[in-house]
Structure 1
Amino acid sequence: MRKNILKKALLILIAGLILFSISAQAISPEEIEADLLYMRELLEEVHPNIYHTTSKEVVEPFQRDLIAQLYEKDEYTLLEAYQKLASLAALFRDGHTQVFFPQDKWNDYLAVGGTIFPLRVELEDEVLTLKNILTEEKLPEGSQLLAINGILAERIKNDMLAVLSYESKVFGARLMSNNFSRLLWALFDIEGPFAIKYRAPGEREETVTLQGLQEDQLPARTAEQPYKLDFISAETALLVINSVPVEMNEDYFNFLEESFKEIKEQEINHLLIDMRNNGGGSTYQFNEVFHYLTDTPYRSFSRVDTRYSRPVLARHQPWHSQIYYRFLNLIRGDDIYKSEPGLTHPPENDYRFSGQTYLLVGPATFSAAADFAALCQDYEAARIVGQETGGLPTSYGDSFFFELPNTSLQGRSSYKYFVRPGGQETSSGVIPDQEIDINKDYPEILATIKSK
């Protein structure tokens, strides 16, 4: 009995120390301002065109107001500093230019029994809708969120989107949904219980108070496989690719070879490749999939602009290359190099698929995964089905990572500009050849595709 009491007391003490460390880290307005100025200067130096979407005339007054607001308080927590710094980075509307959320603080909060908002919130047509995440029903499905603990849904939506970096609205909506619980805690200091004001479909406004969920109360998640092969029918194979390795990976190459070998042996006529939830990775690894779909010579991008700034050269180039590029920069008066990659010829392949390929994409298809969708579309290697990709196939990318000197928050900036293979410099994601509901099961998705 006495041991149990001591054990509980120790756990309470540890929890208190962790919570104290979360809230006690005081950061001065001067330190945050210094990080803001440091980051702005770094982004201007590294990014090929930091004002591509938001002009300097918009950024300047935003930054001045942000700095003026800093001096309304004497000190800030790390989470408050994150909100200020992330909002400036997000203003540039580049999915590869951002200040990262301090995930370790959220982990500490959960470790001591911190509670999570007990519903999933999705942004649909500018409205926040509620989805139950537990088996027992809590609210009518599809109810509209109006407020949480007296904070209006419109403010919650706007403040969350303001710290998230994205180009397309569909990807911003997905980011907000996936990060809703931790942003609700970080931006509004809401820990539960949660007084939820909502409107059920076709009904009047209601309010319900729900307790938060601790991490171990969340529905058990099945470990997501990065890639797998399955068969929907005797003539249709399913290749799910949720992620690809960033570096060279023999297991991944072996998986592709064995999968397409089996597809050929099974005499499959239809192949559905699912990249709905693929957030990107290495273009080279995606191209390995492409080699199994066509023997057409290709280029992943029609043009690549690289900015060889001093920070990028120092980080990514050996000393002799640094001297070479700096000399060229001086002679040319410009540090951006435009290149048009040559054609790549797919290697000989005994297991190349010759049937009909469908590539399933959606708002969570981002970065190199969206580039792969554009590659397949521009070279007609697959029929693109689903919904517009969250990533833009013509966009800024390849990340230069940095740490802010005073807050130690981590961030990144694009330092390249990629133009899709077909040469279209558009501001949209990959538009499917056939738009379909991506939230159905595979047989229904396949039936919808084939019916059209």
Structure 2
Amino acid sequence: MKIGKLKRFFIVIGVFAAALLLLILIYQLAFNPYRGTADKYVEPLALEDELTEKQVLKDMDYTIKMLRSHHPAWLEKDNAKVQAVEREYKNQREQLLNDESDSYTTLDEWRIISKITNKLNDGHTGCLYKSDNNRYIEDATQVEAYGVPTQINGASTDALLKDFKELFSYEREEYLIVFFKDAIQNEAYLKMLGVDTKEGVTFTFNTENGNKDYHYNFVSFEQIKRIQDDTNEDWVYYDIDVDNNMAVFTLKECNYDEHYKNTLDSFFKEVNDKDIDNIVVDLRGNGGGNSYVADEFLSYLDIDGYNTWACAIRYGAYLKKCDASYTKINKKPDAFSGNLYVLTDLNTYSAAMDFAMYVTDNHLGKIVGEASGNMPDSYGDVLTFVTPNSKLTLRASFKKWYRIDETKAGQPIEPDVKCDPSDALNVTRDLICN
């Protein structure tokens, strides 16, 4: 009798364990957003390396398959941008099949896939050429001083920008133009735009003394000559200006780690010890990272809590919608109750843009500078894939975010005080002092 009960017990346990393993397997194969993603860096083929028509088609098919199976837009009814992507995929595939060539380069494929992903207008989804061997113009000081050149190797940069608009993934055209300035310093992007870089490259700038040519060779990123206007190489640091009753917290990257948390804690301790009434958070040039940096920062403020955004997360064929919520704060003993200012520019992106949204949509402070580079109502949280043959990097969002303040849906994070972002700190200092 006892043996029979014990046997039934083990059978039940075995069935339960088998069912659990089956559920885990089903989740991993069908619902886990990270299924099929790359778990390590893979060096792509050189841009000049050749691929067959069959290989390029396989990489194109892989790209559209990953978008269809992971991106939330494909589960949204009658999404016009999805339809545009599907049309472009079909057009590019037909063009490849109908031409008479059977030999293509990695560069050709990069352009083809980029034209497809471009139609989604998702700044977090696109095809990238990420190589350890990427090279850049040797001297960036002229671009920093004069801006975008009028010509590159004699070709109009307006024409190059027009081509770039059909290749680069972006949400706001203003950000595209800013990124173009960086892209043309990268040899890979110059090749993407059809610029011959075999003998270096010549930029023509419109200066106060007329047009002036500068010829550049290409070097590694570490060898680039730049205008040194920031001697602090750390990505998070602060400065206490007692005379002007203000403290500036500079965050160049949204890295949520112990270094950030320790720096933030030290910052607020000094602010409290020196009775500072005005805090400035400098997010200019911050391309994003982990949005928890904003949550950690807000925990030091004298507030009961703050509103967060709604989102939708894709799990396989299911799109889970999460409502907006209110996050309560356990106030710290010396919570900051003064004035808060946030500096932004077009390079304030992704998690950095979220930081600014927390502040403005919860009415916690003022934004100074220019509007953010991407939209609060957007796709995000990036999955990384690698195409089977060319080894190009494919990025795809698996979440959709919604702006906290629904009355401003579809709008970027606009500043309360608009100004040249390079002068935003001085403008903020004047606001505080006056």
TM normalised by structure 2 equals 0.78
Task: List aligned pairs for 1:347-386, cutoff 5 A.
Answer: 347-386=330-369
**Residue 38 of structure 2 aligns with which residue?**
none
Q: Summarize the Cα distance change of 1:297–1:369 in structure 2 as closer, same or farther, 3 Å threshold.
A: same
Q: Which residue of 2 aligns with 1:39?
A: 63
Alignment match, 1:237:
247
Q: Distance in 1 between matches of 2:206 and 2:291?
A: 44
Structure 1 counterpart of 2:254, one-letter code: V
1:354-378 per-position Cα deviation (integer Å, ceiling 9, x unaligned)? 1111011110111111112111112
2:270 counterpart of 1:259: no
Of 399, 403, 407, which aligns to 2:382?
A: 399
| Structure 1 residue aligned with 2:23 | none
| Selected match of 2:85 from 59, 78, 82 | 59
Where 1:22 maps in the other structure, the secondary structure is: coil
Alignment of 1:172-251 (within 5 A): 172-182=176-186, 183-188=189-194, 189-197=196-204, 199-200=206-207, 206=211, 208=213, 210-212=215-217, 214-215=219-220, 216=223, 218-219=225-226, 222=231, 224-234=233-243, 235-246=245-256, 249-251=257-259
Tell me if the contact between 2:88 and 2:115 (Cα under 8 Å) persists in the aligned partners: no
SS at match of 1:293: coil
Q: Hey, what's the Cα distance between the residues in 2 that align with 1:255 and 1:367?
A: 22
Shift of 1:261: 0.8
Amino acid in the other structure paired with 1:98 = G
**CA, structure 1 residues 33+166, in 2 after alignment: closer, same or farther (shift >3 Å)?**
same
Report 1 or 2 for greater relative contact order, CA contacts < 8 Å, sequence distance ≥ 6.
2
Range that drifts further, 412-421 or 220-229: 220-229
- Alignment partner of 2:396 out of 413, 436, 442: 413
Residue correspondence of structure 1 range 316-327 to structure 2 within 5 A: none
Q: Structure 1 residue 159 and structure 2 residue 163: aligned?
A: yes
1:147 aligns with 2:175: no
Q: Please, which of 113, 136, 139 is the counterpart of residue 85 of structure 1?
A: 113
Q: What secondary structure is seen at the aligned counterpart in 2 of 1:359?
A: strand
Establish whether residue 306 from structure 1 lines up as the match of residue 313 from structure 2: yes
1:53 Cα offset (Å): 7.3
Q: What is the aligned partner in structure 2 of residue 318 from structure 1?
A: none
Cα 1:340–1:57, aligned 2, differ >3 Å: closer, same or farther? closer
Tell whether the 8 Å contact from 2:124 to 2:380 is kept in structure 1 after alignment. Answer: yes
Query: Are the equivalent residues in 2 in contact too, given 1:398–1:414 (CA < 8 A)?
Result: yes
Count, aligned residues? 378
CA distance in 1, matches of 2:421, 2:70: 37
- In 2, the alpha carbon distance for the partners of 1:23 and 1:342 equals 46
Partner of 1:296: 304
Q: What is the rounded CA distance, in whole Å, between the counterparts of 1:72 and 1:445 in structure 2?
A: 60
Alpha-carbon contact 2:85-2:117 (below 8 Å) kept: no
SS at match of 1:440: helix
Structure 1 equivalent of residue 16 of structure 2: none
1:278 maps onto 2:302 in alignment: no
Are 2:433 and 1:427 aligned? Answer: no
Q: Does 1:446 align with 2:390?
A: no
Cα distance 1:201–1:162, how it changes in 2: closer, same or farther (>3 A)? farther
Q: Aligned-pair RMSD on alpha carbons?
A: 2.8
Whether contact under 8 Å (1:370, 1:389) holds in the other structure is yes
Structure 1 segments unaligned to the other structure (5+ residues): 1-20, 121-129, 134-140, 311-334
One-letter code aligned to 1:446: T
The offset of 1:343, in angstroms, is 2.2
Distance 1:184 1:415 in 2: 30
Q: Tell whether the 8 Å contact from 2:376 to 2:413 is kept in structure 1 after alignment.
A: yes
- Residues in 1 aligned to 2:327 and 2:87: alpha-carbon distance in whole angstroms: 47
User: Does the 8 Å CA contact 1:193/1:209 hold for their aligned counterparts?
Assistant: no
- Change in 2 beyond 3 A, CA 1:441/1:421: closer
How far did 1:421 drift?
A: 2.0
Judging changes above 3 Å, is the alpha-carbon distance between structure 1 residues 194 and 404 closer, same or farther for their aligned structure 2 residues?
Answer: closer
The alpha-carbon deviation at position 381 of structure 1 amounts to 1.2
Return the alpha-carbon distance in structure 1 between the equivalents of residues 154 and 53 of structure 2.
28
Q: CA deviation at 1:101?
A: 2.0
Displacement of 1:445: 2.6
Secondary structure of 1:349's counterpart equals coil
Contact 1:54 1:91 in 2 (8 A): no
Match of 1:4 in 2: none
Asked if 2 retains the 8 angstrom alpha-carbon contact of 1:80 and 1:187, the reply is no
Percent identical: 24
Which amino acid in structure 1 is aligned with residue 173 of structure 2?
Answer: K
How far 1:448 moved relative to its partner?
4.3
- Tell me if the contact between 1:291 and 1:346 (Cα under 8 Å) persists in the aligned partners: yes
Whole-Å Cα distance in 2 between the matches of residues 297 and 37 of structure 1? 46
Segment of structure 1 superposing worse, 432-441 or 385-394: 432-441
Q: Whole-Å Cα distance in 2 between the matches of residues 23 and 415 of structure 1?
A: 28
